[in-house]
Amino acid sequence: MGCSGRYADAADYAGIWGDEYSEKTEPFILKALEMSAPQIHAALAARDQCDCTLQAWAENYLKQINCVLAALFVKASGCPFPTLTAEEHAFYGQWCENRLGELRDGTVAVCVGDTGINYPAIASIEQAVTTFAAARIVLNRIRRENG
């Protein structure tokens, strides 16, 4: 996948916002999609999710985020659509921040095989039944903490 380029195109953008695009507006939309994509790249890079195979649903998820971010950018640049109220702009801005935060902190894992932080897991502690085992546990801890 790589963390470069946009995730959506003008047709995706128009489909999400319910608008038709034209040759006149397409360059504005594509530029907005390009300008907003680095925020997604940064969130994915924070969890080393740039160079992986995406899960089946992830491509559309990233397109959706890209289109909403672009709409926030487009509003500022004077493109004709979508027309967001101040409240909608704030709502979608917070929505994007939440989605990017989920990508950054691992709540949402877009890579095949990645389980994310909320994946149910069971762990156990090391237990020492001999003095040699206790020494090994201490040594392993020292190695983990000191690299």
Band of residue 18 on the pLDDT scale cut at 50, 70, 90: confident
Higher-confidence residue of 23 and 102: namely 102
The rounded distance, in Å, linking the Cα atoms of 73 and 33 is 9
pLDDT at 103 (0 to 100): 95
Instruction: Give pTM, 2 decimals.
Output: 0.75
pLDDT at 99 (0 to 100): 97
Mean residue pLDDT of the chain comes to: 86
The rounded distance, in Å, linking the Cα atoms of 29 and 16 is 13
The domain ranges of the chain are: 10-105
Has residue 98 got a pLDDT over 60? yes
Calculate mean pLDDT across residues 123-143: 83
Percent above pLDDT 70 for the chain: 87
SS3 for the chain is CCCCCCCCCHHHHHHHHCCCCCCCCHHHHHHHHHHHHHHHHHHHHHCCCCCCCECCCHHHHHHHHHHHHHHHHHHHHCCCCCCCCHHHHHHHHHHHHHHHHHHHHCCCCCECCCCCCCCCCCCCCCCCCCHHHHHHHHHHHHHHHHC
Calculate mean pLDDT across residues 58-78: 86
pLDDT at 122 (0 to 100): 62
Has residue 117 got a pLDDT over 60? yes
Band of residue 81 on the pLDDT scale cut at 50, 70, 90: low
Has residue 17 got a pLDDT over 60? yes
Band of residue 69 on the pLDDT scale cut at 50, 70, 90: very high
